[in-house]
Structure 1
Amino acid sequence: MKFYLPLFLLISTFSCLSQNTSKTKINGISFVATRDTVKESSITPLKKYHANYAAVIPYAWMRSLEEPLVVFNEREGWWGEKSHGVSVTSKHMKNQDLKVLLKPQLWIGRGQYTGHINLKTDAEWKILEDSYTAYIMRFAQVAAQENISMFCIGTELDSFVKARPDYWQKLIKEIRKIYKGKLTYAGNWDSYKYVSFWDQLDYIGVDAYFPMSEEKTPDHNTITNSWKKWKKELKDVSDKYNKQILFTEYGYISADYAGKEPWANAGEDKAVNQEAQHILLEGLYNNVWHENWMAGGFLWKHHPVKGRRSLEKRFTTQDKKAQKTVHAAYSKQY
């Protein structure tokens, strides 16, 4: 005897199967902008990571947390952070089969945390809103013109997001008018769950600097146990909005105690420790990357040109043990 499922059950079953089918992860690298014209050969090393995405990051500036004007000037700054430089860099990436996340973000004087912008009056907030809109819309236009795959509307702007929710709703609508790709926002690890507009975006972006370990060199069991708490939280937020989590930034320094405060650079008191960086990254991939709610993420970061400052303790995995760790994870089909 043959049995036939009703059409609505067939559709429902197919829908569930489709949602559970693993898709290619976003295996991304954050690419540091260049002072001068970038050559396509400078993009080629990204393939060593087996990456399929790269983030292009043009910065704008604020003088302090209390001064609201966002400053972006096409005549000054690094070539790779200007509109033309972003366009050329993105073209080079696409020529090498890399999709692009365009991620404009703010730098505040003396490296103060962008989440602590502290304005007192509506007039000051209006200055911030108008100047930030001009900056973001300039690059939304670049993203539209270059057919860039994904655009990030802001990074770690905790107090701005909390104080001016209506502004962000309007900004998203304005961006959608000209840009048809995917949108995200980069919420910090300790505040992303309070963002009010995830339902308006395509991915829940998280700068994933979750504390992992207080050990100089953590072990794998410690990392696995530490991820349990954060995985539950991430899944709960993903389920709430029915959207995948995207690690808009993630990474660890190659120094002692790299898992204690993962957002911090290494001071003189910390020794080089490539093993700690390797273990922390391997633990992240093993515990998180395979999850259905996980879209992937962007490793922080790759320097196309080495500057005067040593990179031996910094976030990049270039020429370190962890570069092979990243390549191995990005080579898998999750």
Structure 2
Amino acid sequence: MRIFFITSILLLMCSCAMTSPRPEKINGVSFVASREPINDTHIYPVNHINANWAAIMPFGFIRELTHPEIVFNTNRQWFGETRIGAKQYIESLRKHHIKIMLKPQIWVWRGEFTGGIKMASEADWKQLEDSYSKYILEYANLAQEVHAEIFCIGTELESFIDHRPEYWKQLIVEIRKIYKGKLTYAANWNEYDRTPFWGDLDYIGIDAYFPVSDEKTPTLEACKNGWKVYKPVIKVFSESHKKPILFTEFGYRSVDYSGNEPWRSDRTMTVVNLEAQSNTTKALFEEFWNEDWFAGGFLWKWFHNYTDAGGENDSQFTPQNKPAETIIKSFYSKY
């Protein structure tokens, strides 16, 4: 009996030693700013899906694509879009062991694509650069103050970067004088391969709205096949730059053809398709979350008022109160 007991203990110890630890991933949500402060009840659902990170997004506003002035941190904005609101969100989430990516974003009036921001003159470019620097350095200061683990220096600003690459290289230098954590940039899915400053950052950030299927209700298999076009290229890109890939945004709407143009947010797509959202979401997790060159990502998007968010009649991005939420919870529990 004694020999049997000792043998059993040794076998148990060997089995524990051979068990691989769960890989660490950034299991994030893009936490949408609201009119009001948040409290514990708004954070419990984040914990419930096993998320361990949140992207906090204070907004700056531009009147039109050719306008050089960014308006930010004003009393006309929603609470969560301002510096004081972002800080309150971060401090509240930290109490629940949620790590932070601070991700200031620009909104162009009428929702025009930020990648099209382009000035008509050198004087306007200079004014835009001055305005953007004030905006982004304000939040670099906040990121340092709250010890945010990651700071995102911009989101989907491809034309601005294409035309003014030297400005961006110098901006990163200025940010690093203030903020001592990790840096990324949220490049659009068709922009990341020409972004010129990945060597100066810590993560290659991609907003992962790659088209993976043109089916009305894309199957899991079809979506996984769709990723075969992009995944090897992303892997090689990561290896060549010696930087991990971070999906600064990822997600799908619960609509027909959700994998065809995943970036579309217009209201003309209204036919709810929960299965399409589930299959596209599961395929992305299965393709990426176990890759060692992949750091993780931030689900687009998550609202603070969980009870009222999403649901079976909602056609937008949030997975809240939809079948896709269960898939996310399951995958986030593994890593």
TM-score (norm 2): 0.90
Counting matched residue pairs gives: 313
Aligned twin of 2:333: 331
Q: Match for residue 288 of structure 2? A: 288
Aligned-partner SS, 1:229: coil
Does the C-alpha gap of structure 1 residues 268 and 105 become closer, same or farther in structure 2, counting only changes over 3 Å? closer
319, 326, 330: which is aligned to 1:317? 319
Q: Distance in 2 between matches of 1:118 and 1:308?
A: 38
After superposition, give the CA deviation of every residue in 1:228-255 in whole Å (9 maximum; x if it has no partner). 1110111121012100000000000011
In structure 1, what is the Cα distance between the partners aligned to 2:92 and 2:317?
24
Q: For residue 185 of structure 2, what is the aligned residue in structure 1? A: 185
1:253-264 paired onto structure 2 within 5 Å = 253-264=253-264
| Residue 78 (structure 1) aligned with residue 40 (structure 2) | no
2:169 equivalent to 1:169: yes
Q: Answer yes or no: is the 8 Å Cα contact 1:253–1:266 preserved in 2.
A: no
Q: Distance in 1 between matches of 2:102 and 2:324?
A: 25
Deviations 1:10-40 (A, max 9, x none): xxxxxxxxxxx98401000000112022223
- Corresponding residue for 1:152? 152
Q: Residue deviations 1:282-328, cap 9 Å, x none?
A: 00001111112110000001111379997611100000000000001
The answer to whether the Cα contact below 8 Å between 1:66 and 1:118 also exists between their aligned partners in 2 is: yes
DSSP-derived class of the 1:160 partner: helix
Is the contact between residue 186 and residue 206 of structure 1 (CA under 8 Å) also seen in structure 2? yes
Contact 2:310–2:322 (CA under 8 A) maintained in structure 1:
no
Mapped to 2, the partners of 1:66 and 1:177 lie a distance apart of: 30
The answer to whether the Cα contact below 8 Å between 1:50 and 1:327 also exists between their aligned partners in 2 is yes
Cα deviation, residue 81, structure 1 = 1.4
Distance 1:22 1:234 in 2: 23
* Equivalent residue letter for 1:61: F
Change (3 A) 1:78 1:119: same
Alignment correspondent of 2:92: 92
Q: What are the within-5 Å matches in structure 2 for residues 200-279 of structure 1? A: 200-265=200-265, 267-268=267-268, 270-279=270-279
Conserved? CA contact 2:310–2:318, under 8 Å = no
Sequence identity percentage: 45
1:13-24, aligned counterparts within 5 Å?
A: 23-24=23-24
Distance 1:192 1:269 in 2: 27
Describe the SS at the equivalent of 1:314.
coil
Q: 1:233 to 1:254 in 2, by over 3 A?
A: same
Question: Residue type matched to 2:184 in 1?
Answer: T
Is the contact between residue 277 and residue 324 of structure 2 (CA under 8 Å) also seen in structure 1? yes
Q: Which runs of 5+ in 2 are unaligned?
A: 1-20
Q: Residues of 2 paired with 1:308 and 1:251: CA distance?
A: 19
Cα deviation, 1:47-77, whole Å, max 9, x if unaligned, reads 1221010010011000001111111133220
CA positional deviation for 1:136: 0.5
Give, in whole Å, the separation in 2 of the partners of 1:43 and 1:73. 24
8 Å Cα contact 2:57/2:102 also seen in 1: yes
What is the CA–CA distance in structure 2 between the aligned matches of 1:268 and 1:307, rounded to whole Å?
A: 25
Show CA shifts across 1:203-232 (max 9, x none). 000000000111111112211111111101
Distance 2:268 2:308 in 1: 16
**Which amino acid letter does the alignment assign opposite residue 260 of structure 1?**
N
